[in-house]
A = this chain, B = another copy of it.
Amino acid sequence: MRLHGYFRSTAAWRVRIALNLKGVEAERSFHHLRKGEQRAPDYLRLNPQGLLPTLELDNGAVLTQSLAICEWLEETHPEPALLPRDAVARAHVRAFAQAIACDIHPVQNLKVLARLRALGQPEEVVTGWARDVINEGLAACATLIEKQSGPFCFGAAPTLADLCLVPQLSNARRFGCDVSVWPRLLAVESACLALPAFADAQPERQPDAE
């Protein structure tokens, strides 16, 4: 198994956490997003979207999209579970994950910010865009889990929700969001980072970190 990633990609980071939680080993390939290595023809043959991550399986199958990869891991390596058993609870965890993976991250990723720069928007507007998107999105995320017990997003064990939240909080800080307004999200982050699966998946611990 081989994971194609980049230390700073929050989508690849989600999969690193999932692999660690499941105890699944994968070789690593690195594609430098700022140098455009994700647009190399060899990589586009694996991942036509030119996005990270991609997971190549031993049988030659190629999986893309971080949440689809995590669902595959959940189905093929069920323990420890990343989703609860109850169907409604599963829907709540998935909705939280998608609130980040659909509605925050893609609207503040490198590609969108590059589009804004190409329209002549100054750097403070570009950063402000990312900050606004993250502030609005994480405020909604905090509300989504306000009735859930901790220490994780949905109770006593980490789920798909937590492995989306921790990377997104890192992006929030990078763009200057005041993360102190979400104490519950920060408490979840602390609980997560106390686990080696989360700690070892952090960007600065990856071989391609700068």
Which residues of A come within 8 Å of B, CB atoms?
48-51, 57, 59, 61, 63-65, 67-69, 71-72, 75-76, 87-88, 90-92, 94-95, 98-99, 101-103, 105-107, 112, 115, 119, 121, 125, 129, 132, 137, 139-140, 143-144
Alpha-carbon separation in the docked complex, A102 to B97 (Å): 11
Q: Are B75 and A90 in contact (CB under 8 A)?
A: yes
Q: How far is the CB of A140 from chain B (nearest CB, A)?
A: 4
| Given A119-B121, A119-B125, residue A91 in contact with residue B103 (CB < 8 A) | no
Integer count of this chain's copies in the complex: 2
Cβ-defined partner of A61 (8 Å) among B88, B99, B102, B132: B88
Complex contacts, A129 vs chain B, CB 8 Å: 115, 119
Question: Known contacts A48-B144, A107-B112, A140-B48; is A102 also within 8 Å of B65 by CB?
Answer: yes
Q: Which of B72, B106, B137 contacts A87 (CB 8 A)?
A: B72
Min CB distance A141 to B, Å, is: 8
Bound together, the chains give a CA A139 to CA B49 distance in angstroms of: 8
Chain B residues closer than 8 Å to A75, beta-carbon distance: 87, 90
Contact residues in B for A71 (Cβ distance below 8 Å): 90-91, 94
Q: Please, how many angstroms separate the alpha-carbon atoms of A91 and B57 in the complex? A: 12
